[in-house]
């Protein structure tokens, strides 16, 4: 059924850009969700809202996640007395941020970008050395993942070959990989080589 829905949608010009999201053209893809999936910062305003933001200008220092008080009256009282209404704050380590990037990024046709790995690790890691490459290569050889070697004018050069000294721009799932990406993601995270 899933494969049939995928094929019918594709034949109608409605393309999958995330495991469960389709759009008729990239200009109609959900920019709001893509921002989350790519690890972007966001600020929530009002009772019960959530925020996630980088805590300094120095990349690689992690993020903070906050949740505001849900009850409107309590929210207003807190703002009036302590100048904020944060009910919960969680420091997100760079490792946690990487794991989230991998989980969400690999659910999209855009995959995990090397520039994002570089930003989170402050230049200490790249796609080439963040995972156990044997595991990545096995999924590439089996047709589940591909390297994106360069991106220009929205044209991606994909490769299922070994990198041979090249640094990829992204690691992306194939259509076949998209169907089992949660399993692949779990295994890749288990090979993550970052503190």
Residue 161's pLDDT is 64
User: Any residues with CB less than 8 A from the CB of 134 and at least 6 apart, and which?
Assistant: none
Place of tokens 């360069």: 150
pLDDT one-digit tens code per residue, 21-31: 999 988 999 99
pLDDT one-digit tens code per residue, 153-169: 445 566 666 666 677 89
Residue 153's pLDDT is 45
Residue 156's pLDDT is 57
The answer to whether the beta carbons of residues 194 and 120 sit under 8 Å apart is: no
Residue extents of the structural domains in the chain: 1-30, 50-92, 94-195
pLDDT one-digit tens code per residue, 133-154: 899 999 999 999 999 887 654 4
The answer to whether the beta carbons of residues 156 and 96 sit under 8 Å apart is: no
Q: Helix 181-190 to helix 94-105 angle, to the nearest 10 degrees?
A: 150
Q: H-type helices in the chain, by residue range? A: 2-11, 31-37, 72-82, 94-105, 114-120, 127-130, 133-141, 175-178, 181-190
The answer to whether the beta carbons of residues 184 and 173 sit under 8 Å apart is: yes
The per-residue DSSP string of 42-59 comes to B---STT-EEEEESSSST
- Alpha carbons 144 and 112: distance in angstroms, whole number: 14
Residue 167's pLDDT is 74
Helix (H, G, I), strand (E, B) or coil at 171: strand
In Å, how far from its chain's centre is CA 68? 24
Which of 140, 127, 129, 125 lies closest to 184, judged by CA? Answer: 140
């Amino acid at each position: 059924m899933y494969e049939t829905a995928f094929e019918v949608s594709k034949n109608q010009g409605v393309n999958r850009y995330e495991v469960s999201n389709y759009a008729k053209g990239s200009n109609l893809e959900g920019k709001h969700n893509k921002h989350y999936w790519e690890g972007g910062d966001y600020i929530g305003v009002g009772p019960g809202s959530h925020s996630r933001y980088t805590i300094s200008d120095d990349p690689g220092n992690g993020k903070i996640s906050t949740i505001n008080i849900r009850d409107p009256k309590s929210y207003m009282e807190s703002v009036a007395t302590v100048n904020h209404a944060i009910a919960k704050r969680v420091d997100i380590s760079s490792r946690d941020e990487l794991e989230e990037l991998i989980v969400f990024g690999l659910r999209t046709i855009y995959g995990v970008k090397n520039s994002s790995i570089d930003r989170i690790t402050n230049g200490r890691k790249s796609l080439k050395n963040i995972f156990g490459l044997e595991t990545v290569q096995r999924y590439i050889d089996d047709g589940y993942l591909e390297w994106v070697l360069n991106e220009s004018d929205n044209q991606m050069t994909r490769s299922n070959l070994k990198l041979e000294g090249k640094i990829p721009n992204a690691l992306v799932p194939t259509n076949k990989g998209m169907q089992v990406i949660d399993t692949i993601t779990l295994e890749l995270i288990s090979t993550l080589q970052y503190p």
